[in-house]
Amino acid sequence: MDLQSIQLRLRECIKNSGIPQNVIAKEISVSPQTVSKYMKKDIFPALDTLAKLCKLLDCSADYILGLSDC
């Protein structure tokens, strides 16, 4: 699994959550602009932030990292 595929899965989880980006940002302690960059640019959150995102979005880190299909 390459970085672009991981980023695509992260974007998919954020989009499918239905949670507004500003709410996500507040809950994981980043700026709304940072969440927007996760969605539109080739940046990836730090591991601690990824863990917070997975918990908030109810999305498996294994899925985002390509280690499982669900």
Note the pLDDT tens digit of each residue in 13-53. Answer: 999 999 999 999 999 999 999 999 998 887 889 999 999 99
CATH number at residue 60: 1.10.260.40
Number of domains in the chain: 1
Counting Cα atoms < 13 Å in the Cβ hemisphere of 42 gives: 4
* pLDDT (0 to 100) of residue 60: 94
pLDDT at 69: 85
Instruction: Give the pLDDT of residue 4.
Output: 86
70 lies in some domain: no
Residue-range definition of the domain harbouring residue 44: 3-64
Residue 67 C-alpha from the chain's centroid: 15
What is the token pair recorded at 43? 């940046």
Which stretch of DSSP H or E encloses residue 13? helix 3-17
| One-letter amino acid of 9 | R
In a domain, residue 69? The reply is no
pTM for the whole structure: 0.85
Distances (CA, A) of 17 to 11, 20, 53: 10, 9, 11
C-alpha of 21 from chain center: 11
